[in-house]
Amino acid sequence: MGQAETIDARVPPVAVWQVLAKLRGQDLIDWRLAEPAQRPSPDERDLPSEFPFGWYPILLSNELEAGVVKPLRYFAQELAIWRGMDGAVRMVDAYCKHLGAHMGHGGQVDGNELRCPFHAWRYDGEAGVVTDVPYAKRIPPQVKRKCIRTWHVVEANRWIWMWYHPHDLPPQWEVLEHPECADPDWTEFEIHEWNVWGSLQNMAENGVDFAHFKYIHGTATFPEAELEFHELGRKAVIRAKMGTPMGEVDGQIAFDTRGPGQSWTRFTGISETLLVACLVPVERDHVHARFCFTQPKAQAEGPMGGLARAMIRDICKQFDQDKVVWDRQKFEANPIICDGDGPIPRFRQNYAKFYASEAPA
């Protein structure tokens, strides 16, 4: 089966290949999601004790219809998210202030508000107040004023985004819209999903870790990268020779970020692809990851479609290769760096501003 095998067969086989080689089809999908039977605690691995603040894509827009409420768990918190009959999305902390029912399970959307499943108290998801207690003569004053945490949510790039800040500060920037996501000439997302048993920061550092591309991913040469740090993260243009059935091709990978929760990559060379990388922390040692790919329809459905699909498979394979490391990696606060490494200390300095405890007041 020629093509995919050939395009994957880089030289020499990468070290993690022995872990991945036998995983095929459903076994590979199961491996991507499964929780390891045993793993050291986040403390033992020195994983960050707080989550970096920013906008994070938590649910696809088409996963939430009007009138539907869903439970979510991100940032080690239980959440209830719903779409009102007006089409707008709201999200609050999941636990009801009355007797602690989880409103994401069995709650009911009433107009634009949410009714708790237990005793039908009704919450306004914007003001964070109770607007109705159907069996009481009066609403307790403590819940007539703001009593529950409400979360900022917006929709962009076919996703619902939440603003996470541990101290509930308001959004400090906006989600960047990608024109491809609104362009009917680009395909629906092709989505691949992983649970990574590690920290978001270790995953983010991967992009500036130039040396790993050869050893973990088997790129034919060390990629040539132009990396730039900016106010909201980092961007890079990486040029690398990519092995293909037609020989080596000059590929280009351009990635950029807006805070720790929005990152995207445009691939050109083998085929034109936008990857919207949706990574959201669930726990200190658990990140829920979805890679969403879109390509020009003309390309995906045309004679080069096979090559485009092979490229997506290859990008996912790179994620699999990194995952072998991420799932067990500790955070090495004082790494020993050599001259061939990418700008890892610079990355960490830039990333630290998204931790509320380190950010300037």
**Residues contributing to the site for ligand FES (CB under 6 A):** 96, 98-101, 116, 118-119, 121
Site for Fe ion in 79-138 (CB under 5 A): none
Shortest distance (Å) from residue 68 CB to ligand FES: 19
Query: Burial letters for 260-283: b for 16+ Cβ neighbours within 10 Å, e otherwise?
Result: bbbbbbbbebbbbbbbbbbbbbbb
User: Which one of ligand FES, Fe ion, none is in contact with 98 (Cβ closer than 5 to 8 A by kind)?
Assistant: ligand FES
Torsional sign, CA 42, 43, 44, 45: positive
For residue 226 the two structure tokens come to 């132009």
Q: 95: alpha, beta or left, given left = phi > 0 and alpha = psi -120 to 50? A: beta
314 binds Fe ion (CB under 5 A): no
User: Which one of ligand FES, Fe ion, none is in contact with 322 (Cβ closer than 5 to 8 A by kind)?
Assistant: Fe ion
Give the interface segment with Fe ion, choosing from 84-92, 159-167, 318-326, 332-340 (CB under 5 A): 318-326
Q: How far apart, in Å, are the Cα atoms of 349 and each of 43, 55, 139, 287, 329?
A: 22, 20, 49, 22, 20
Residue ranges with strand state E in the chain:
54-60, 69-74, 77-83, 89-93, 108-110, 113-115, 122-124, 129-132, 153-156, 159-164, 190-196, 224-230, 233-244, 247-258, 262-268, 273-283, 286-294
Pick between residue 70 and residue 98 the one whose CB is nearest to ligand FES: 98
Shortest distance (Å) from residue 295 CB to Fe ion: 21
Alpha carbons 208 and 194: distance in angstroms, whole number: 21
Alpha carbons 230 and 253: distance in angstroms, whole number: 18
Pick between residue 119 and residue 330 the one whose CB is nearest to ligand FES: 119
For residue 170, the 8-state DSSP code is P
User: Which one of ligand FES, Fe ion, none is in contact with 241 (Cβ closer than 5 to 8 A by kind)?
Assistant: none
Shortest distance (Å) from residue 104 CB to ligand FES: 12
User: Which one of ligand FES, Fe ion, none is in contact with 330 (Cβ closer than 5 to 8 A by kind)?
Assistant: none
Residue with tokens 């610079």: 346
Shortest distance (Å) from residue 100 CB to ligand FES: 6
Shortest distance (Å) from residue 288 CB to Fe ion: 18
Q: What's the CA angle centered on 83, arms 81 and 86, to 5 degrees?
A: 150
Contacts of 114-120 with CB under 8 Å at 24 or more apart are: 114/69, 114/80, 114/82, 114/90
Pick between residue 102 and residue 290 the one whose CB is nearest to Fe ion: 290
320 binds Fe ion (CB under 5 A): no
Query: How many CB atoms are closer than 10 A to CB 249?
Result: 14
Pick between residue 66 and residue 147 the one whose CB is nearest to ligand FES: 147
DSSP bridge partners of 253: 238, 267
Shortest distance (Å) from residue 82 CB to ligand FES: 15
Pick between residue 108 and residue 195 the one whose CB is nearest to ligand FES: 108
User: Which one of Fe ion, ligand FES, none is in contact with 116 (Cβ closer than 5 to 8 A by kind)?
Assistant: ligand FES
User: Which one of Fe ion, ligand FES, none is in contact with 211 (Cβ closer than 5 to 8 A by kind)?
Assistant: none
DSSP bridge partners of 102: 95
Site for Fe ion in 182-241 (CB under 5 A): 206
User: Which one of Fe ion, ligand FES, none is in contact with 101 (Cβ closer than 5 to 8 A by kind)?
Assistant: ligand FES
By CB under 5 A, the count of residues binding Fe ion is: 2
Pick between residue 17 and residue 118 the one whose CB is nearest to ligand FES: 118
The H-or-E segment that residue 321 falls in is: helix 305-326
Pick between residue 211 and residue 246 the one whose CB is nearest to Fe ion: 211
Exactly one of 180, 322, 323, 324 binds Fe ion (CB under 5 A); that residue is 322
Classify 359 as helix, strand or coil.
coil
Point out which residues bind Fe ion (CB under 5 A). Answer: 206, 322
